[in-house]
Chains A and B, each alone.
Chain A
């Protein structure tokens, strides 16, 4: 290895920006930085705390594809629709001060070409503060003037704390039975209630196959959800919340817990950049410092550093890392500490050492020695700047390795326990069998981001390498 010519980082950066790969790399990294800065814009401050909290995601559809899937098919997929209590028209009347009748009407414009989310369908929540039992009836009125009674039952209030929330999801037995009655009435088919999929049949055109997700056709138009209740508490109140879970959601879809993958992806960007850069910069500097020390001091120090480097390079890092991460759940920052402990010396230590051996013989170093510069002054003032370009190449080129390392530990379930990292999203997808069920967005979106981040640093490293090691480009 020949001694690198003295070049400044500025020159190198300028030259790098002259190459296509350099420009592309820088562009991608700027894009990632913008993505990282978009986190506070797209998400509210508490978002990261709710990432692992299932309750925070109940209003989100599960395993919904990204919204832009529409662009590639001629269909408009069902969007997530949330009807809050204030979205319902409410009419309530006290009759004779003895009992109260409450009507709630929600209007749903359903103009999509697909059914609601096949996994969740819809959910109706009833919230009441009544001190007496309520008799409630929920009816869906369809655009074709048919109506289906979904639920007709009582809410018992005795012994419960107010307000009482009753949640009815599409696949509840009562709703299935109600839908089954509806199908029998309109088609005359005698089907079993257990096989009914309410969110398909209720939104389908009347047809013997209206319960079959593959054959049924969507009935578009204005649906009305009519809820009426009657109770012996004249001051009672009833509110409803209605969610039609979309079959598509947001920019990146949702995962099996209903989490918005866009948020995870955005959060993953700064983590990936910070982890990759921190690990590579810390280890790069450490390797270089030991290389300079070995080259400059020579003798015993050189011998010890060289032998220790050889040993550390033989010790299998990955299995030990897996072992440690399994036994002690480590977060990404501890992971860096472990990497430093396992690899304080590396291949670049030896390369830099041999460079220093040559720089050491140069005249300006001899001159510095002659007028009495200290060892450390020479090492940091005269030698370090010379090896800096080489070191920067090494650091840039090692970033992708660390980003993939994080993903590798994540896929085994050993990754960061609390923060959403790209690797963790990917491993969640893998563990939920997204690969075999075709939930492509859950796999592809984090995978593509990991790849383009790694590629950005790879491209930068490639163009830097050509500048710093000029032999590689001329022939």
Chain B
């Protein structure tokens, strides 16, 4: 017993180290890249210089100063502002401050982007966009799972039937198809030629509240195309993966043995096939639900959907490094915590983990 606990403890400790390292590496990588290795700071510095000279030109107090005095005063002001923004230290050092702030979820303020309410607090900006990403992609992912899992189970039980062949083929073909790609074709068909759905956006008129019936209907009308694109490119993969898993398990010796000794088919499926298939499926479900929170950068951009994906793209194209870092770190945290939670559960369920056996 003691050795089991020790084995589990060792397993957990190892996981924690790996996850923490992953988190730090991913965040630091983002800090470096988002700041362009310090180049973004140079841009900010030159902006500060311009700001200072602008404000000095308008300041009547400075009119009597000599040129040298003015220059000195200017340098002083610039140094002051740089220090206020923490830009007086070299980038290498600052990159670690940024890393620390990101890891402690001290997201700070955006450089250029603003929330709809005018705030530049990154947490406000992100929280404003998050519901829309969840509404679209989490709904989409849940629909994918609801269609894909049962379909996959059914296909696995009836391998090589017409349905199985058809859906397998469909899954292989859509597996790598990005949803924005289908989205573009959908806009052409359903917006331009048929005129059934709007080409993008969240609402077509302003609503006093998003909870009124009119607003809900408006949003539902706008969400239809991106949601359809997401589901069409998604559910095939779910069905195919589940199917392959079921087929693999069906060939295990213990399933054959159970069938040979006459276990009823229903029980066989439930206890001998579904139960071992559950952990990988739970992992897949958990990870894709988490992934759906971050939205889809390109699909949202194509449809003009105001979620986290368009926020990310807006942040990248405005070189707003703090927002990019904030989004990445939150996503990395969510992912790492989910994977860690799954690890704990599997560690508890799988006796091999505790003994350190593989």
Please report A residues at the B interface, Cβ cutoff 8 Å: 21, 307, 310-311, 314-316, 318-320, 322-324, 326-327, 397-398, 400-401, 404, 407-408, 411-412, 426, 430, 435-436, 438, 440, 443-444, 447, 450-451, 454-455, 458-459, 461-462, 471-473, 475
Q: Which residues in window 245-296 of B have CB below 8 A to A?
A: 247-248, 250-251, 294
CB of A438 to closest CB in B, whole Å: 5
Identify whether the interface residues of B are mostly helix, strand, loop, or mixed.
helix
Q: Assess the B298–A320 pair: CB atoms within 8 A.
A: no
CA distance A459 to B174 in the complex (A): 11
Q: Which residues in window 185-219 of B have CB below 8 A to A?
A: 185, 187-188, 191-193, 199
Q: Assess the B298–A411 pair: CB atoms within 8 A.
A: yes
For residue B159, CB closer than 8 A to chain A, the reply is: yes
- Residues of B near A444 (CB, < 8 A) are 185, 188
Known: A436-B192, A436-B199, A447-B185; 7 extra A-B contacts, CB below 8 A, are A310-B18, A314-B26, A314-B336, A315-B22, A327-B319, A412-B298, A454-B173
For residue B175, CB closer than 8 A to chain A, the reply is: yes
Q: Assess the A435–B188 pair: CB atoms within 8 A.
A: yes
- Residues of A near B187 (CB, < 8 A) are 435-436
For residue B349, CB closer than 8 A to chain A, the reply is: no
- Residues of B near A455 (CB, < 8 A) are 173
CA distance A326 to B315 in the complex (A): 11
Interface residue stretch chosen among B29-37, B69-77, B86-94: B29-37
Q: Assess the A475–B177 pair: CB atoms within 8 A.
A: no
Beyond A316-B332, A472-B244, whether A462 also contacts B172 by CB under 8 A is yes
Please report B residues at the A interface, Cβ cutoff 8 Å: 18, 21-22, 25-26, 29-30, 33-34, 36, 39, 159-160, 168-169, 172-173, 175-178, 180-181, 184-185, 187-188, 191-193, 199, 244, 247-248, 250-251, 294, 297-298, 301-302, 312-313, 316-317, 319, 324, 327-328, 331-332, 335-336, 339
Q: Which of A316, A322, A326 has the most CB of B within 10 A?
A: A316
Q: Assess the A314–B298 pair: CB atoms within 8 A.
A: no
14 A-B pairs (CB sep. < 8 Å): A311-B18, A314-B339, A315-B25, A319-B30, A404-B176, A404-B177, A404-B181, A407-B178, A411-B301, A412-B301, A435-B192, A436-B199, A458-B172, A462-B169
- Residues of A near B319 (CB, < 8 A) are 327
- Residues of B near A462 (CB, < 8 A) are 168-169, 172
Q: Assess the A326–B250 pair: CB atoms within 8 A.
A: no
Q: Assess the B172–A320 pair: CB atoms within 8 A.
A: no
Beyond A411-B180, A473-B160, whether A430 also contacts B302 by CB under 8 A is yes
Q: Assess the B33–A323 pair: CB atoms within 8 A.
A: yes
Q: Assess the B33–A440 pair: CB atoms within 8 A.
A: no
CA distance A319 to B29 in the complex (A): 11
Indicate which residue in B184, B312, B332 contacts A430 across the interface (CB closer than 8 Å): B184
CA distance A475 to B159 in the complex (A): 7
Q: Assess the B316–A323 pair: CB atoms within 8 A.
A: yes
Indicate which residue in A316, A412, A440, A454 contacts B328 across the interface (CB closer than 8 Å): A316
Identify whether the interface residues of A are mostly helix, strand, loop, or mixed.
helix
CB of A306 to closest CB in B, whole Å: 10
Q: A310: nearest residue on chain B (CB-CB)?
A: B18
Q: Assess the A436–B191 pair: CB atoms within 8 A.
A: yes
Q: Assess the A458–B313 pair: CB atoms within 8 A.
A: no
Q: Assess the A322–B302 pair: CB atoms within 8 A.
A: no
Beyond A310-B22, A327-B33, whether A322 also contacts B192 by CB under 8 A is no
Indicate which residue in B172, B188, B335 contacts A440 across the interface (CB closer than 8 Å): B188
Q: Assess the A314–B169 pair: CB atoms within 8 A.
A: no
Q: Which of A320, A462, A475 has the most CB of B within 10 A?
A: A475
CA distance A311 to B244 in the complex (A): 26
Q: Assess the B297–A318 pair: CB atoms within 8 A.
A: yes
Q: A318: nearest residue on chain B (CB-CB)?
A: B297
Q: Assess the B191–A311 pair: CB atoms within 8 A.
A: no
Q: Assess the A323–B302 pair: CB atoms within 8 A.
A: no
- Residues of B near A322 (CB, < 8 A) are 297, 312-313, 316
Q: Which of A315, A400, A443, A462 has the most CB of B within 10 A?
A: A315
CB of B356 to closest CB in A, whole Å: 13
- Residues of B near A407 (CB, < 8 A) are 178, 181
Beyond A411-B298, A430-B302, A435-B191, whether A316 also contacts B331 by CB under 8 A is yes
- Residues of A near B159 (CB, < 8 A) are 472-473, 475
Indicate which residue in B36, B176, B193, B251 contacts A401 across the interface (CB closer than 8 Å): B176
Q: Assess the B36–A327 pair: CB atoms within 8 A.
A: yes
CB of A300 to closest CB in B, whole Å: 14
Beyond A323-B34, A327-B36, A443-B185, whether A461 also contacts B172 by CB under 8 A is yes
- Residues of A near B160 (CB, < 8 A) are 473, 475
- Residues of A near B188 (CB, < 8 A) are 435, 438, 440, 443-444
CA distance A451 to B332 in the complex (A): 32
- Residues of A near B199 (CB, < 8 A) are 435-436
- Residues of B near A471 (CB, < 8 A) are 247-248, 251
- Residues of B near A458 (CB, < 8 A) are 172-173, 175-176
Q: Assess the B29–A315 pair: CB atoms within 8 A.
A: yes
Q: Assess the A400–B176 pair: CB atoms within 8 A.
A: yes
- Residues of B near A459 (CB, < 8 A) are 169, 172-173
Beyond A436-B191, A443-B188, whether A408 also contacts B30 by CB under 8 A is no
Beyond A404-B176, A455-B173, whether A412 also contacts B33 by CB under 8 A is no
Q: A303: nearest residue on chain B (CB-CB)?
A: B14
- Residues of A near B313 (CB, < 8 A) are 322, 412
- Residues of A near B177 (CB, < 8 A) are 400, 404, 451, 454
- Residues of A near B172 (CB, < 8 A) are 397, 458-459, 461-462
- Residues of B near A443 (CB, < 8 A) are 184-185, 188
CB of B103 to closest CB in A, whole Å: 15
- Residues of B near A426 (CB, < 8 A) are 184
CB of B184 to closest CB in A, whole Å: 6
